[in-house]
Amino acid sequence: MLKGHQTWEFENQPVILSTGTVGGPFEAKGLLADDFDLLHEDLWLQQDSYEKAQKVLLEESITRAIEKAGLQNEDIHFMLTGDLINQITPSSFAGRTLAIPYLGLFGACSTSMEGLALAAMTVNTKHAKYIVAAASSHNAATEKQFRYPTEYGSQKPPTAQWTVTASGAAVVADSGDGPIVTSATIGKVIDMGLSDPFNMGAAMAPAALDTIVAHFRDRRLEPDHYDLIATGDLGKIGMPILKDLLKERDLNIPEETLQDCGLMIYREGQPVQAGASGSGCSAAVTYGHLLNQMKKGELKKILVVATGALLSPMSYQQKETIPCIAHAVSIEAGKH
Domain boundaries, the chain: 1-336
The predicted pLDDT at position 334 comes to 82
Characterize 104-120 residue by residue with b for buried, 16 or more Cβ atoms within 10 angstroms of its Cβ, and e for exposed.
bbbbbbbbbbbbbbbbb
Residue 336: predicted pLDDT = 44
Q: Average pLDDT of 263-292?
A: 97
Cβ neighbours of 135 (radius 10 Å): 38
Q: Contact, 201 vs 234, CB < 8 A?
A: yes
pTM of the model: 0.97
Condensed to tens digits (0 to 9), the pLDDT of residues 203-260 reads 999 999 999 999 999 999 999 999 999 999 999 999 999 999 999 999 999 989 999 9
Asked if the peptide bond before residue 233 counts as cis, ω within 30 degrees of 0, the response is: yes
Would you call 175 exposed, middle or buried from its count of C-beta atoms within 10 A (0-12, 13-18, 19+)? exposed
Give the containing element (helix H, strand E) for 141.
helix 139-146
Query: How many angstroms separate the Cα of 310 from the Cα of each of 32, 76, 190, 284?
Result: 27, 29, 10, 20
The CATH T-level fold of domain 1-336 is Peroxisomal Thiolase; Chain A, domain 1 (3.40.47)
Instruction: Measure the CA dihedral 288/291/292/293, to 10°.
Output: 130
Answer whether 183's CB lies under 8 Å from 329's CB. yes
Give the rounded percent of residues in the chain with a pLDDT score beyond 90. 94
Length of the chain: 336
pLDDT band at 41 (very low <50, low <70, confident <90, very high): very high
At residue 335 the predicted structure's pLDDT band, cuts being 50, 70 and 90, is low
Beta-carbon count within 10 A of 316 CB: 16
CA angle at residue 81 from 313 to 209, to 5 degrees? 65
